[in-house]
Amino acid sequence: MARIHPTAMVDPRAELADDVEIGPYVVIDGEVRLGSGCVVGPFCRLEGPTVIAEGNRFTSHCSIGAPPQDLSYRGEPTRLEIGPGNWFREFVTVHRGTTKGGGVTRIGGYGLFMAGAHVAHDCQVGNHVIFANGGTLAGHVEVGDYATIGAFSAVHQFCRVGPYAFLGGFTVATKDCLPFMRTVGSRPARCFGPNTIGLERKGFAPERREALKKAWRILHNPKLTTSEAVAKIAAELGDQPDVALLLEFIRSSQRGVILARG
Protein backbone atom coordinates (compact mmCIF):
# COMPACT_ATOMS: atom_id res chain seq x y z
CA MET A 1 0.00 0.00 0.00
CA ALA A 2 0.93 3.66 -0.42
CA ARG A 3 3.09 5.04 2.39
CA ILE A 4 1.14 7.93 3.89
CA HIS A 5 2.50 9.96 6.80
CA PRO A 6 0.04 10.04 9.71
CA THR A 7 -0.18 13.84 9.55
CA ALA A 8 -1.26 13.85 5.90
CA MET A 9 -4.91 14.35 4.89
CA VAL A 10 -5.97 12.31 1.86
CA ASP A 11 -9.44 12.66 0.34
CA PRO A 12 -11.19 9.29 -0.04
CA ARG A 13 -11.85 10.17 -3.69
CA ALA A 14 -8.10 10.21 -4.41
CA GLU A 15 -6.51 7.26 -6.24
CA LEU A 16 -2.95 6.44 -5.23
CA ALA A 17 -0.72 3.79 -6.78
CA ASP A 18 0.55 1.20 -4.33
CA ASP A 19 4.09 2.60 -4.15
CA VAL A 20 3.24 6.31 -3.78
CA GLU A 21 4.85 8.16 -0.87
CA ILE A 22 2.96 10.96 0.88
CA GLY A 23 4.98 13.10 3.31
CA PRO A 24 4.12 15.04 6.45
CA TYR A 25 1.25 17.55 6.42
CA VAL A 26 0.34 16.91 2.78
CA VAL A 27 -3.26 17.69 1.77
CA ILE A 28 -4.80 15.82 -1.15
CA ASP A 29 -8.22 17.27 -1.88
CA GLY A 30 -10.68 15.85 -4.39
CA GLU A 31 -10.23 13.60 -7.40
CA VAL A 32 -6.46 13.34 -7.58
CA ARG A 33 -4.84 10.36 -9.28
CA LEU A 34 -1.18 9.68 -8.52
CA GLY A 35 0.73 7.19 -10.66
CA SER A 36 3.35 4.68 -9.65
CA GLY A 37 6.50 5.97 -7.99
CA CYS A 38 5.22 9.46 -7.22
CA VAL A 39 6.64 11.15 -4.11
CA VAL A 40 4.82 14.06 -2.49
CA GLY A 41 6.99 15.95 -0.01
CA PRO A 42 5.95 17.82 3.12
CA PHE A 43 3.33 20.57 3.12
CA CYS A 44 2.25 20.06 -0.50
CA ARG A 45 -1.39 20.56 -1.48
CA LEU A 46 -2.83 18.65 -4.46
CA GLU A 47 -6.36 19.44 -5.66
CA GLY A 48 -8.50 17.71 -8.26
CA PRO A 49 -9.61 16.86 -10.77
CA THR A 50 -5.93 16.20 -11.43
CA VAL A 51 -4.20 13.25 -13.09
CA ILE A 52 -0.48 12.82 -12.37
CA ALA A 53 1.44 10.12 -14.25
CA GLU A 54 4.16 7.91 -12.83
CA GLY A 55 7.46 9.05 -11.36
CA ASN A 56 6.64 12.65 -10.44
CA ARG A 57 8.37 14.25 -7.44
CA PHE A 58 7.04 17.20 -5.46
CA THR A 59 9.75 18.42 -3.09
CA SER A 60 7.77 20.55 -0.61
CA HIS A 61 5.15 23.31 -0.31
CA CYS A 62 3.86 22.84 -3.87
CA SER A 63 0.31 23.83 -4.83
CA ILE A 64 -0.79 21.58 -7.69
CA GLY A 65 -4.23 21.64 -9.30
CA ALA A 66 -5.57 24.73 -7.54
CA PRO A 67 -8.47 26.61 -9.20
CA PRO A 68 -7.50 29.09 -11.93
CA GLN A 69 -6.78 32.71 -11.03
CA ASP A 70 -9.40 33.95 -13.48
CA LEU A 71 -12.34 36.14 -12.46
CA SER A 72 -14.62 34.36 -14.94
CA TYR A 73 -14.13 31.00 -13.18
CA ARG A 74 -17.23 29.90 -11.28
CA GLY A 75 -16.21 26.49 -10.03
CA GLU A 76 -16.72 24.55 -13.26
CA PRO A 77 -15.19 21.03 -13.37
CA THR A 78 -11.90 21.75 -15.13
CA ARG A 79 -8.74 19.67 -14.71
CA LEU A 80 -4.97 19.36 -14.73
CA GLU A 81 -2.96 16.63 -16.47
CA ILE A 82 0.73 15.99 -15.73
CA GLY A 83 2.90 13.52 -17.65
CA PRO A 84 5.59 11.24 -16.22
CA GLY A 85 8.91 11.90 -14.55
CA ASN A 86 8.73 15.59 -13.66
CA TRP A 87 10.44 17.17 -10.68
CA PHE A 88 8.61 20.03 -8.98
CA ARG A 89 10.81 21.86 -6.49
CA GLU A 90 9.80 24.04 -3.54
CA PHE A 91 6.76 26.33 -3.82
CA VAL A 92 5.86 25.48 -7.43
CA THR A 93 2.27 26.34 -8.36
CA VAL A 94 0.23 24.81 -11.21
CA HIS A 95 -3.44 25.68 -11.81
CA ARG A 96 -6.31 23.85 -13.48
CA GLY A 97 -7.91 25.12 -16.69
CA THR A 98 -10.95 27.27 -17.40
CA THR A 99 -13.96 26.37 -19.51
CA LYS A 100 -13.28 29.22 -21.94
CA GLY A 101 -9.69 28.01 -22.37
CA GLY A 102 -10.53 24.39 -23.13
CA GLY A 103 -10.90 23.19 -19.54
CA VAL A 104 -7.47 21.63 -19.06
CA THR A 105 -3.93 22.62 -18.17
CA ARG A 106 -1.36 20.12 -19.45
CA ILE A 107 2.27 19.50 -18.57
CA GLY A 108 4.27 16.88 -20.46
CA GLY A 109 6.94 14.62 -19.06
CA TYR A 110 10.48 14.78 -17.67
CA GLY A 111 10.54 18.49 -16.89
CA LEU A 112 12.29 20.35 -14.09
CA PHE A 113 10.33 23.10 -12.38
CA MET A 114 12.63 24.93 -9.98
CA ALA A 115 11.61 26.79 -6.83
CA GLY A 116 8.75 29.24 -7.22
CA ALA A 117 7.90 28.44 -10.84
CA HIS A 118 4.28 29.02 -11.88
CA VAL A 119 2.12 27.48 -14.64
CA ALA A 120 -1.23 29.24 -14.95
CA HIS A 121 -4.60 28.04 -16.23
CA ASP A 122 -4.97 26.48 -19.67
CA CYS A 123 -1.23 26.38 -20.39
CA GLN A 124 0.06 23.58 -22.61
CA VAL A 125 3.62 22.68 -21.65
CA GLY A 126 5.74 20.14 -23.54
CA ASN A 127 8.27 17.51 -22.56
CA HIS A 128 11.80 17.93 -21.14
CA VAL A 129 11.29 21.59 -20.28
CA ILE A 130 13.25 23.52 -17.66
CA PHE A 131 11.73 26.32 -15.61
CA ALA A 132 14.37 28.10 -13.55
CA ASN A 133 13.51 29.72 -10.21
CA GLY A 134 10.49 31.98 -10.49
CA GLY A 135 9.82 31.25 -14.17
CA THR A 136 6.18 32.26 -14.74
CA LEU A 137 3.54 31.58 -17.38
CA ALA A 138 0.33 33.59 -17.60
CA GLY A 139 -2.81 31.83 -18.81
CA HIS A 140 -3.15 30.08 -22.18
CA VAL A 141 0.61 29.94 -22.89
CA GLU A 142 2.10 27.17 -25.04
CA VAL A 143 5.63 25.93 -24.34
CA GLY A 144 7.32 23.51 -26.74
CA ASP A 145 9.48 20.50 -25.97
CA TYR A 146 12.98 21.14 -24.56
CA ALA A 147 12.30 24.84 -23.96
CA THR A 148 14.01 26.66 -21.08
CA ILE A 149 12.32 29.45 -19.14
CA GLY A 150 15.01 31.48 -17.35
CA ALA A 151 14.91 32.63 -13.75
CA PHE A 152 12.20 35.19 -12.93
CA SER A 153 11.07 35.36 -16.55
CA ALA A 154 7.42 36.00 -17.41
CA VAL A 155 5.46 35.01 -20.51
CA HIS A 156 2.33 37.01 -21.39
CA GLN A 157 -1.00 35.24 -21.81
CA PHE A 158 -1.69 33.60 -25.18
CA CYS A 159 1.99 33.70 -26.17
CA ARG A 160 3.98 30.72 -27.38
CA VAL A 161 7.49 29.58 -26.57
CA GLY A 162 8.82 27.38 -29.35
CA PRO A 163 10.59 24.01 -29.04
CA TYR A 164 14.20 24.29 -27.87
CA ALA A 165 13.73 28.02 -27.19
CA PHE A 166 15.81 29.60 -24.45
CA LEU A 167 14.54 32.56 -22.43
CA GLY A 168 17.24 34.29 -20.43
CA GLY A 169 16.73 35.37 -16.85
CA PHE A 170 14.32 38.26 -16.14
CA THR A 171 12.90 38.16 -19.68
CA VAL A 172 9.41 39.59 -20.24
CA ALA A 173 7.92 37.99 -23.35
CA THR A 174 4.84 39.74 -24.77
CA LYS A 175 5.12 38.08 -28.19
CA ASP A 176 5.96 34.56 -29.34
CA CYS A 177 9.52 33.34 -28.64
CA LEU A 178 11.15 31.64 -31.61
CA PRO A 179 12.09 27.95 -31.46
CA PHE A 180 15.82 27.15 -31.21
CA MET A 181 16.62 30.79 -30.41
CA ARG A 182 17.80 32.82 -27.41
CA THR A 183 15.33 35.48 -26.28
CA VAL A 184 16.47 37.87 -23.56
CA GLY A 185 15.38 41.20 -22.13
CA SER A 186 12.40 43.17 -20.90
CA ARG A 187 10.06 45.48 -22.83
CA PRO A 188 11.15 44.88 -25.43
CA ALA A 189 12.73 41.48 -25.24
CA ARG A 190 15.08 40.73 -28.12
CA CYS A 191 16.11 37.60 -29.98
CA PHE A 192 19.84 36.92 -30.20
CA GLY A 193 19.91 34.03 -32.65
CA PRO A 194 20.28 30.28 -32.25
CA ASN A 195 21.07 28.86 -28.83
CA THR A 196 24.16 27.23 -30.32
CA ILE A 197 25.68 25.78 -27.15
CA GLY A 198 22.35 24.51 -25.88
CA LEU A 199 21.51 22.85 -29.19
CA GLU A 200 24.92 21.19 -29.31
CA ARG A 201 24.40 19.85 -25.80
CA LYS A 202 21.04 18.45 -26.89
CA GLY A 203 22.69 16.49 -29.69
CA PHE A 204 22.08 18.73 -32.72
CA ALA A 205 24.54 17.81 -35.47
CA PRO A 206 26.73 20.61 -36.93
CA GLU A 207 24.72 20.74 -40.15
CA ARG A 208 21.49 21.30 -38.22
CA ARG A 209 23.02 24.13 -36.22
CA GLU A 210 24.50 25.68 -39.36
CA ALA A 211 21.13 25.64 -41.14
CA LEU A 212 19.55 27.51 -38.24
CA LYS A 213 22.42 30.02 -38.24
CA LYS A 214 21.89 30.69 -41.95
CA ALA A 215 18.15 31.12 -41.42
CA TRP A 216 18.81 33.56 -38.60
CA ARG A 217 21.17 35.68 -40.70
CA ILE A 218 18.41 36.13 -43.25
CA LEU A 219 15.73 36.77 -40.63
CA HIS A 220 18.01 39.27 -38.91
CA ASN A 221 18.78 41.20 -42.10
CA PRO A 222 17.52 44.79 -41.57
CA LYS A 223 17.09 45.25 -45.33
CA LEU A 224 14.32 42.64 -45.41
CA THR A 225 10.85 42.73 -43.91
CA THR A 226 9.88 39.69 -41.92
CA SER A 227 7.67 38.46 -44.77
CA GLU A 228 10.52 38.88 -47.27
CA ALA A 229 12.93 37.11 -44.95
CA VAL A 230 10.53 34.19 -44.46
CA ALA A 231 10.12 33.82 -48.23
CA LYS A 232 13.88 33.90 -48.78
CA ILE A 233 14.51 31.34 -46.02
CA ALA A 234 11.84 29.05 -47.45
CA ALA A 235 13.41 29.24 -50.91
CA GLU A 236 16.97 28.59 -49.72
CA LEU A 237 16.60 26.39 -46.63
CA GLY A 238 13.00 25.20 -46.55
CA ASP A 239 14.00 21.56 -47.03
CA GLN A 240 15.72 21.53 -43.61
CA PRO A 241 13.27 20.14 -40.99
CA ASP A 242 14.34 22.51 -38.20
CA VAL A 243 14.12 25.51 -40.50
CA ALA A 244 10.71 24.36 -41.73
CA LEU A 245 9.52 24.21 -38.11
CA LEU A 246 10.87 27.72 -37.52
CA LEU A 247 9.06 29.05 -40.58
CA GLU A 248 5.77 27.41 -39.64
CA PHE A 249 6.06 28.89 -36.15
CA ILE A 250 6.48 32.39 -37.59
CA ARG A 251 3.66 31.98 -40.12
CA SER A 252 1.21 30.69 -37.52
CA SER A 253 1.92 33.39 -34.94
CA GLN A 254 -1.12 35.35 -33.77
CA ARG A 255 0.76 37.82 -31.56
CA GLY A 256 3.88 38.29 -33.67
CA VAL A 257 7.34 37.00 -32.87
CA ILE A 258 10.20 38.56 -30.93
CA LEU A 259 13.08 39.57 -33.20
CA ALA A 260 16.31 41.48 -32.67
CA ARG A 261 14.82 44.45 -34.52
CA GLY A 262 12.45 44.99 -31.53
What does the pLDDT look like over 203-222, one tens digit per residue? Answer: 999 999 999 999 999 999 99
What does the pLDDT look like over 52-100, one tens digit per residue? Answer: 999 999 999 999 999 999 999 999 999 999 999 999 999 999 999 999 9
Mean pLDDT of 16-40: 98
Active site annotation includes 122: yes
From the candidates 61, 95, 121, 128, give the one annotated as an active-site residue. Answer: 121
Active site annotation includes 18: no
From 92, 86, 66, select the one nearest 78 (Cα to Cα): 66
The pLDDT value given to residue 195: 97
For residues 112 and 86, is the Cβ–Cβ distance under 8 A?
Answer: yes
For residues 79 and 103, is the Cβ–Cβ distance under 8 A?
Answer: yes
From the candidates 35, 108, 111, 139, give the one annotated as an active-site residue. Answer: 139
Mean pLDDT of 155-184: 98
Domains in the chain: ranges and CATH: 3-140 (2.160.10.10), 199-252 (1.20.1180.10)
Q: Mapping DSSP to helix (H, G, I), strand (E, B) and coil, where does residue 214 land?
A: helix
Strands 166-167 and 172-173: unpaired
Rounded CA separation 117/88 (Å): 9
Mean pLDDT of 29-52: 98
Neighbour-count burial of 223, counting CB atoms closer than 10 A to its CB (0-12 exposed, 13-18 middle, 19+ buried):
exposed
Active site annotation includes 238: no
From the candidates 70, 122, 176, 242, give the one annotated as an active-site residue. Answer: 122
Rounded CA separation 82/92 (Å): 14
The pLDDT value given to residue 260: 78
What does the mean pLDDT of the chain come to? 97
HSE-CB at 118 with a 13 A cutoff on CA atoms is 18
Mean pLDDT of 188-213: 97
Rounded CA separation 214/219 (Å): 9
